[in-house]
Chains A and B, each alone.
Chain A
Amino acid sequence: MDITSPTFKANARVALADGQLQKALGNVRAGFIDKRRKAVDALPEFEELRDRARDIKNHALEHLDLYLETYEAKVLSSGGTVHWAETAGQARDIILDICRKADARTVTKGKSMITEEIGLNDFLEKNGIRPVETDLGEYIIQLRGEHPSHIIAPAVHLNKEQVEADFRRVHDHLPDHRDLSEPEALLGEARRVLRSQYFEADVGITGANFLVAETGTSIIVTNEGNGDLTQVLPRVHVVVASIEKIVPTLEDVSQILRVLARSATGQEMSVYTTLSTGPRRKGDVDGPDEYHVVLLDNGRSSMLGTEFQDMLRCIRCGACMNHCPVYHAVGGHAYGWVYPGPMGAVLTPSLIGVDKGGHLPNASTFCGRCESVCPMRIPLPKMMRHWREREFERGLNPATQRFGLGLWAFFARRPRLYRLAAALGIPVLSLLGGRKRRFAWLPFAGGWTRHRELPAPESRTFMQQWRDREAVARQAGR
């Protein structure tokens, strides 16, 4: 997909002026936060499980090469095939090759952010293969030619009226009098249309929430059941997963599952947690004949051993964006690439370069709400700050910003000079504040006063007044 992260500010302005979007974003604030809170409050062991989940992933990442080898051997012994892809391009070629060998014309897809990351749909279409998204949200945005605006609720930026309009535009069998005004009716329509697609598809592609090294198992966690129909009905099942999805054992997965759904949707468990190991076995009456896993690196291996390694613990629950005031204000598309919100602000610069994704780690108030809800205890603000440090080192910040910061630092490092300048400037500014005690406009403060008044300084600085008070006290003491 096209990267628009460099124009984040302009994207944000458009988003802020979009009434439909702003209305839809209200659903994020209303829908996710309370449900997570309730689920967390109902499990006394939740915080302990977060620690465990963090430790499990840390261990897996520290031994990633070995677990990948174990995982691969297990997939092979269960009759599956493992393909390794260093880059998005390699992954696309591998998947196309599998589709061609299967003589595929239609491919159904379960919801997967990794296939968004590698731009799979466009690529398959260009090569004459029709990808059909089957998750309701993904289906809707595919009809619209859009990309997900949220990693677990891809169509969260839309309202039902927009979805109805899209269904009427694309499903040309729909009679005008058919009532599609409510989500129930819209879901029913999508269910009906997609049913036949599952049977038509030659290949089903899913992502994976986890890969279990112990058994060579891939796991998907879903609510609709579309992922399961995608992988059980076609002849070929392809799992696309990035290398950091590895978890050592089934017991380890059990721990992380307990924090995943609660953090994501406030469910104790998602409706369907599906463990898949290899293709159809002898005697099975359904299931795919072929089971392929495409293991994708695409930049992960270079995050290991750096200050960004912790990001690889991410299990894509979306809690960080659900609780982010910036995401609430501008939605996911403004971030300009696949991964929005706080996790995107850290991951995107790693994957597309900080020169393109540099705005994202800067567009944060560091309010820390993301870290406080992250089930994997990823220090998201800290890592955004690390990106700011990399940018600063490389001189990527705008010149005016660097100049302003340099000037400020010059004074902040010289207390006497700082006090002197403040003692000269502040009383004047205070005087200018007049009876209102505030400014509607001030030179060089446009960024502030465009949207709010600037309170005027009360009087002389605290330091000035304190010295006077001390002097008086000394005299009195003498």
Chain B
Amino acid sequence: MNETTGSRPRIGLFVTCLVDLFRPTVGFAAVKLIEDSGCTVEVPMAQTCCGQPAYNSGDRADARAIAEATIEAFESFDYVVAPSGSCAGMLKKHYPGLFKGDAAWEARATAFSARVFELVSFLVDVRGVRSVDVKRKARITYHDSCSGLRELGIREQPRMLLSSVKGLKLVEMKDPDVCCGFGGTFCVKYSDISNAIVEKKTASIDAAGAETLLAGDLGCLMNMAGKLKREGSTVEARHVAEVLAGMDETPPIGGWK
């Protein structure tokens, strides 16, 4: 690792494909939060997607090819940070397994994975951030995305930082740890089942009585926001980084109303 005491760690931002295409604000919010924690941020151009669509469809060859490219693009950084529990989980927990039987690559992947973190847990667990200096007067509710929660153990970190936002009140929904039904390609391959799952989720969100829904994964957020809008709900959905960085002036995911 290149990090030395006193110098600013170099962070490679893994933007994630959904943030790149649909919600650049989350990327900029991530950059701001990471810089504020005393790091420098770079964004390697040779990144596309973490490879989950291939990996979870049983296509190991493409998943591995993408993993190789990602590792090559990022392995020189002190840390690799992604504003998504799902993508960070892929990089951190699943990449080494893709190279089973190829000792050299497996070692490289393992070394890489050790330096990968999801954004909010990076701020809290690695950088020791305990609060942010922003204001937002709103009642919010927080959905724990599955990979972040169960693969990376992210639960208290976002709540801790959110509790430091002035004017913000967190109201927990029922079963915040239950899947929203997104599941990547699952939501289109089994759209009826996905719909039944997200309907339960939006009912819990509505019942919580919050104005804003936050989560750490854009896939889940697009799913929940899309359903909330279809149901005519006024709850607005945002990535947690937008609020923590104070970059919440843009229209919420899926528009205002």
Contact = CB atoms under 8 A, between A and B. Distances in A.
Direct contact of A and B (CB under 8 A): yes
Interface of A: 9, 12-13, 16, 325-326, 328-330, 362-369, 371-372, 385, 387-393, 397, 401, 405, 408-409, 411-413, 415, 418-419, 422, 426, 433, 435-438, 440, 447-448, 450-463, 465-467
Nearest to B198: A452
Given A329-B193, A368-B146, A466-B43, A455 B226 contact: yes
B59 A392 contact: yes
A452 B20 contact: no
Looking at B51, B147, B223, B251, the one whose CB has the most chain A CB atoms below 10 A away is: B251
Contacts of A460: 24
A462 B150 contact: no
Q: Is the interface of B mostly helix, strand, loop or mixed?
A: helix
Contacts of A329: 193, 196-197
B139 interface: no
B191 A451 contact: yes
Across the A-B interface, the 7 shortest Cβ-Cβ residue pairs: A365-B183, A447-B188, A392-B58, A437-B255, A452-B226, A388-B58, A367-B179
Contacts of B222: 454-455
Interface stretch (B61-69, B103-111, B160-168): B61-69
A448 B226 contact: yes
Interface string B101-139: 000000000000000000000000000000000000000
Given A12-B192, A16-B192, A363-B186, A437 B251 contact: yes
Contacts of A369: 146, 150, 177-179
Contact of B190 (A363, A390, A422, A462): A363
Interface of B: 15, 17, 19-25, 27-28, 43, 45-49, 51, 53-60, 62, 65-66, 69, 146-147, 150-151, 177-179, 181-184, 186-198, 200, 222-223, 225-227, 229-230, 250-251, 253-256
Contacts of B191: 447-448, 450-451
Nearest to B25: A458
Contact of B53 (A16, A328, A405): A405
Contact of B57 (A392, A411, A458): A392
A432 to B, nearest CB: 13
A55 to B, nearest CB: 21
A368 B20 contact: no
B106 to A, nearest CB: 17
Contacts, number: 206
A453 B221 CA distance: 12
B45 A415 contact: yes
Looking at B48, B56, B225, the one whose CB has the most chain A CB atoms below 10 A away is: B48
A412 B54 contact: yes
B230 A453 contact: yes
A455 B225 contact: yes
A116 B196 CA distance: 29
A10 B205 CA distance: 29
A28 to B, nearest CB: 13
A419 B21 CA distance: 10
Nearest to B89: A368
Contact of A461 (B24, B69, B183, B187): B24
Nearest to B66: A412
Contact of B20 (A9, A325, A435, A463): A463
A371 B189 CA distance: 23
Contacts of A363: 186, 190, 193
Contacts of B47: 415
Contact of A452 (B62, B200, B223, B256): B223
Given A392-B58, A458-B22, A415 B46 contact: yes
A275 B19 CA distance: 58
A433 B222 CA distance: 14
A436 B56 contact: no
A458 B179 contact: no
Contacts of B58: 385, 387-393, 397
A78 B196 CA distance: 53
A366 B20 contact: no
10 contacts: A368-B150, A390-B58, A392-B59, A405-B57, A412-B48, A412-B53, A412-B66, A440-B230, A452-B223, A453-B254
A325 B181 contact: yes
Contacts of A465: 24, 28
B80 to A, nearest CB: 16
Given A389-B58, A405-B59, 14 more contacts: A13-B192, A16-B192, A362-B190, A365-B197, A366-B183, A368-B151, A389-B59, A415-B47, A453-B225, A455-B254, A458-B250, A458-B251, A463-B43, A465-B28
A366 B25 CA distance: 27
Contact of A367 (B23, B146, B190): B146
Contacts of A453: 225-227, 229-230, 254
Nearest to B46: A415
B190 A12 contact: yes
Contacts of B23: 457-458
Contacts of A325: 178-179, 181, 197, 200
Contacts of B250: 458
B55 to A, nearest CB: 7
Contacts of A455: 22, 222, 225-226, 229, 253-255
A451 B255 contact: no
A463 B45 contact: yes
B19 A462 contact: yes
B226 A454 contact: yes
A152 B150 CA distance: 26
B196 A462 contact: no
Nearest to B19: A462
A447 B190 CA distance: 8
B118 to A, nearest CB: 15
Given A364-B186, A365-B182, A369-B179, A413 B62 contact: yes
A427 to B, nearest CB: 11
A459 B183 contact: no
A451 B225 CA distance: 12
B150 to A, nearest CB: 4
Contacts of B223: 452
Given A401-B189, A460-B24, A438 B255 contact: yes
B60 A408 contact: no
A409 B20 contact: no
B150 A447 contact: no
Given A363-B186, A413-B69, A457 B22 contact: yes
